[in-house]
Amino acid sequence: MATLLEHGGEVDLWCGWRVTLPPSYHERNSDGSWSFWGADWTIDAIIVEVAGDSSGKAVSAEKMLGSERTINASGGGWVGEVVALTETDNGRDVFRLSANLASENTSLSFWVSYFEEHQRPFAEKLVRGVVHGT
């Protein structure tokens, strides 16, 4: 069931991740992912957590991202790759900010979708609102 964040604020996800949002709705989905939405934007978020590598040592944020990603962003307790995409959905352009973020032993796929290209700074602000840890 969706929860209204009437005045905006911080939402605790799990595994140490949290996000600050404007007034919006959010919901934990049956598959463990999260959905957030406002009038003209959505966020899909998926968290992956590991206990460690095969020897029991912590997995670095860089390894959690994988070798195919280029670290081009960092924020509160995370590093990541953020890429702007334009896709067509039902004949309409949809703009997406794909943020793949990681911290030790955990990663967060955080995709912001919006309809107007001028909303990109807003989408970037949403990504900057993600924090991991204390």
Please choose, from the candidates 132, 124, 106, 111, the residue with its C-alpha nearest in 3D space to the C-alpha of residue 36: 111
Task: Give the pLDDT band (50/70/90) at residue 134.
Answer: low
Which domains are seen in the chain, by residue range?
3-132 (3.40.1000.10)
Mean pLDDT score, 68-89: 96
Please choose, from the candidates 134, 114, 49, the residue with its C-alpha nearest in 3D space to the C-alpha of residue 126: 114
**Is the alpha carbon torsion for 133, 29, 6, 115 positive or negative?**
positive
Over 90: is that where the pLDDT of 97 sits?
yes
Q: What is the pLDDT of residues 7-27, one digit of tens each?
A: 999 999 999 999 999 999 999
Query: In this predicted structure, what is the pLDDT of residue 67?
Result: 85
- Look over the chain and give the mean of its residue pLDDT values, rounded to a whole number: 96
Quote the pTM value. 0.94
